């Protein structure tokens, strides 16, 4: 019977540790109740029973506090203190913990854990000094994570990040500049230590949750892909490099950020969308450096030592040489590609009505990632890579104009003109009242592909919108006029040529009437007049265009040709000399 009881106790302890590590707070409350006797035992056994009861009370307090924090995640993000009056779970947890510490009957290990939990409670109440005092009492600077269970890593991680946040919010009372610098170093030490332990915790948690035996145990059915970061774990991963970058310590911030990228990739550390935003918003092209090169000298004076304690013993695992793909991503410093891969993998593609909210969130996240990807790759001219990434996004882009249009633009930019026109047709179906879509399609057809019939079709789509096309209506007529003009050039019959040239001239004049201040439209009207040998009228209109835009190279070029055609060679030479001065590099 004793052996059976011992086995039951070990099993209970194992389940408690697992719940605390994996965040099963509802189940932990149920287990904690088993340690709380319904009636206080006889006085002679009070010592052992009190220890067990206090242990159960501590677990119950932790579960209540964590449930309260989960319910108030938004308030935590906005740094809004929680009050006992409005949060019954918080009040009950505080009563349990205060009673435990006042009695002092718990074993030292669990007493330390109770202090760590109470320190967290003080922080969310806004009592930052009390939180700092409680962590000093627990002696967190001397704690070791070597050979400790998983839930202890979580507790220590949160303790360090909360201590750092509490110190950060308590700097107003410091008058001495030297003391303020010491405080800032202490804050950074807390943040950097929290970041390291958080990564170790998440890596070990992934191994545990991916273990078949672990998942088969009753109540432990969560998978790692479903694990959600708590507010404080998220803060532990981010606070160090965000604080460095905010203070202008770019070298330290970037190195801290890249250290996170180098750790073995886990679901919870795939915050590549946020990392991409940090890179884009914090660094200009001039101050960026790759992981394989040294930072600029002017940034090196901000470099200082690492504050991570040697007591930790355990460090996060890094990419190995065998993992070439991950290593290549790190070396090339493109978390945006990882972000797009994650967006594709996590996308909700089901069209079921009950999946509508999840699908909307998934699409919003994916769109944000691909926008960042477009900015980054676009600035480096990597349009082929961008188009390939966006093509993979089409599986969850049903009826989503933004991603379709991004794909079309990337294909235009990388020269995949025929594919771009096909995608633009889909965009036009999604937004039939948007004139910019068929206008772009007409431009691609006329310019890159010389698909004149398709160009005419798209130009007429814009014109058919009428006044709803707004300022694009004149551009629609311009596109149609150019199409007619090119068709006239391709025609073999004189009658067909004359008819098409006439239609081109009428259409371009209509465009000029709609936008009399558009020098580009007047330029093409002049060109059409020149093609039908109305040279004087062409020059007259071209001078009008040059009044609107005096240094337009194409207008100057055409004017020189027209003067030359009329044998006004000196005028033509004067225009050429003027243009060469303005554009000395133009062949």
DSSP conformation letters of 210-224: T-HHHHHSTT----G
Taking a C-beta distance cutoff of 8 angstroms, is the pair 78, 127 a contact?
no
238 located within any domain = yes
DSSP conformation letters of 256-292: HHHHHHHBPP-GGG--HHHHHHHHHHH--TTT---TT
For 237, the token pair is 């991963």
CATH number of the domain to which 524 belongs: 1.25.40.10
3-state helix, strand, coil in the chain (%, to 5): 75, 0, 25
Looking at the structure, do residues 452 and 404 belong to the same domain, yes or no? no
What residues of the chain score a pLDDT lower than 70? 1-7, 37-50, 171-175, 212-226, 261, 264-288, 290-292, 298-314, 318-352, 354-356, 358-359, 361-362
264 located within any domain = yes
Query: Which pLDDT score is estimated for 484?
Result: 97
DSSP bridge pairs for 318? 263
CA distance 332 to 88: 50
Query: Which pLDDT score is estimated for 173?
Result: 66
Taking a C-beta distance cutoff of 8 angstroms, is the pair 168, 184 a contact?
no
Q: Which residues contact 447 (CB under 8 A, 6 or more apart)?
A: none
Taking a C-beta distance cutoff of 8 angstroms, is the pair 538, 530 a contact?
yes
Q: Which residues contact 80 (CB under 8 A, 6 or more apart)?
A: none
Query: Which pLDDT score is estimated for 29?
Result: 92
Q: How many CB atoms lie within 10 A of CB 48?
A: 10
What is the count of structural domains for the chain? 4
Looking at the structure, do residues 485 and 527 belong to the same domain, yes or no? no
| Domain end (from 469, 497, 514) | 514
Looking at the structure, do residues 419 and 357 belong to the same domain, yes or no? yes
Q: How many CB atoms lie within 10 A of CB 54?
A: 24
CA distance 561 to 530: 10
Closest to 478 measured CA to CA, from 436, 438, 524: 524
Looking at the structure, do residues 264 and 167 belong to the same domain, yes or no? yes
If DSSP codes are grouped into helix, strand and coil, which group holds residue 407?
Answer: helix
* Domain limits for position 362: 332-430
Looking at the structure, do residues 489 and 524 belong to the same domain, yes or no? no
Looking at the structure, do residues 22 and 83 belong to the same domain, yes or no? yes
Q: How many CB atoms lie within 10 A of CB 368?
A: 16
443 located within any domain = yes
CATH number of the domain to which 103 belongs: 1.25.40
Taking a C-beta distance cutoff of 8 angstroms, is the pair 117, 101 a contact?
no
Name the DSSP class of 25: H
Place of tokens 């009370």: 57
Closest to 406 measured CA to CA, from 432, 435, 433, 440: 440
Query: Which pLDDT score is estimated for 256?
Result: 80
Looking at the structure, do residues 480 and 385 belong to the same domain, yes or no? no
Evaluated on CA atoms 53, 54, 58, 60, the torsion sign reads positive
pLDDT tens digits, 255-284: 887 777 677 555 555 554 455 555 656 566
Name the DSSP class of 318: B
Checking 114-118 for CB contacts under 8 A at 24+ apart, the result is 114/58, 114/61, 116/140, 116/155, 116/156, 116/158, 116/159, 117/58, 117/61, 117/62, 117/65, 117/93, 117/155, 118/94
Looking at the structure, do residues 484 and 400 belong to the same domain, yes or no? no
570 located within any domain = yes
Q: Which residues contact 537 (CB under 8 A, 6 or more apart)?
A: 529
216 located within any domain = no
For 49, the token pair is 């029973």
Looking at the structure, do residues 426 and 438 belong to the same domain, yes or no? no
2 located within any domain = no
CA distance 49 to 29: 19
Looking at the structure, do residues 366 and 338 belong to the same domain, yes or no? yes
Chain Cα centroid distance, residue 482:
42
Query: Which pLDDT score is estimated for 349?
Result: 53
305 located within any domain = no
Query: Which pLDDT score is estimated for 330?
Result: 38
Looking at the structure, do residues 237 and 134 belong to the same domain, yes or no? yes
Q: Which residues contact 198 (CB under 8 A, 6 or more apart)?
A: 157, 161, 233, 236, 237
Q: What is the pTM of this model?
A: 0.62
415 located within any domain = yes
Q: How many CB atoms lie within 10 A of CB 140?
A: 22
CA distance 209 to 204: 9
Query: Which pLDDT score is estimated for 331?
Result: 35
| Domain end (from 493, 514, 535) | 514
| Domain end (from 457, 483, 514) | 514
Looking at the structure, do residues 82 and 162 belong to the same domain, yes or no? yes
């Amino acid at each position: 019977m004793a052996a059976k009881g011992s086995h039951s106790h070990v099993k209970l302890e194992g389940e408690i540790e697992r719940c605390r590590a994996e965040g099963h707070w509802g189940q932990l409350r149920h287990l904690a109740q088993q340690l709380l006797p319904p009636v206080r035992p006889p006085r002679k056994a009070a010592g052992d029973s009190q220890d067990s009861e206090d242990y159960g009370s501590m677990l119950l307090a932790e579960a209540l506090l964590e449930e309260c924090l989960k319910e108030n995640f938004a308030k935590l993000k906005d740094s809004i203190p929680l009050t006992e009056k409005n949060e019954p779970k918080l009040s009950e947890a505080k009563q349990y913990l205060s009673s435990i510490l006042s009695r002092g009957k718990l074993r030292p290990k669990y007493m330390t854990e109770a202090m760590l939990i109470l320190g967290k409670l003080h922080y969310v109440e806004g009592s930052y000094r009390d939180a700092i005092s409680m962590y000093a009492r627990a002696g967190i600077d001397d704690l070791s994570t070597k050979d400790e269970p998983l839930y202890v890593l979580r507790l220590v991680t949160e303790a360090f990040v909360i201590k750092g946040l509490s110190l950060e919010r308590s700097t107003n009372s410091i008058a001495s500049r030297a003391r303020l610098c010491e405080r800032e170093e202490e804050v950074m030490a807390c943040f950097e230590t929290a970041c390291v332990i958080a990564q170790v915790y998440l890596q070990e948690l992934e191994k545990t949750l991916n273990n078949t035996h672990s998942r088969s145990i009753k109540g432990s059915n969560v998978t790692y892909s479903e694990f959600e970061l708590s507010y404080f774990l998220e803060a532990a991963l981010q606070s160090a490099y965000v604080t460095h970058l905010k203070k202008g310590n770019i070298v330290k911030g970037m190195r801290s950020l890249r250290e996170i990228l180098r750790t073995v990739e886990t679901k919870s550390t795939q915050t590549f969308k946020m990392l991409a935003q940090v890179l884009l918003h914090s660094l200009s092209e001039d101050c960026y450096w790759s992981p394989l090169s040294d930072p600029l000298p002017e940034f090196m004076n901000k470099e200082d030592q690492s504050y991570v304690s040697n007591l930790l013993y355990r460090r996060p695992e890094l990419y190995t040489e065998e993992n070439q793909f991950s290593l290549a991503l790190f070396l090339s410093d493109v978390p945006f590609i990882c972000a797009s891969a994650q967006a594709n993998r996590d996308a909700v593609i089901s069209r079921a009505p009950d999946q509508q909210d999840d699908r909307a969130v998934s699409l919003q996240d994916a769109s944000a990632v691909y926008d960042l990807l477009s900015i980054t790759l676009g600035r480096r001219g990597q349009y082929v890579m961008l188009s390939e990434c966006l093509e993979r996004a089409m599986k969850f882009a049903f009826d989503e104009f933004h991603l379709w249009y991004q794909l079309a633009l990337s294909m235009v930019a990388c020269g995949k003109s025929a594919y771009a026109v096909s995608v633009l047709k889909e965009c036009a179906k999604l937004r039939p009242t948007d004139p910019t879509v068929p206008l772009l399609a007409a431009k691609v057809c006329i310019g890159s592909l010389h698909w004149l019939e398709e160009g005419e079709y798209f130009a007429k789509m814009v014109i058919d919108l009428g006044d709803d096309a707004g300022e694009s209506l004149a551009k629609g007529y311009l596109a149609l006029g150019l199409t007619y003009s090119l068709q006239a050039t391709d025609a073999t019959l004189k009658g067909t040529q004359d008819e098409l040239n006439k239609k081109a001239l009428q259409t371009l004049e209509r465009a000029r009437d709609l936008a009399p201040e558009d020098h580009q439209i007047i330029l093409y009207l002049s060109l059409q007049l020149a093609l039908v040998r109305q040279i004087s009228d062409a020059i007259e209109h071209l001078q009008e265009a040059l009044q609107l835009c005096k240094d337009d190279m194409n207008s100057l070029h055409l004017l020189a040709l027209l003067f030359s055609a009329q044998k006004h060679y000196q005028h033509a030479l004067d225009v050429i000399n003027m243009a060469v001065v303005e554009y000395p590099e133009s062949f």
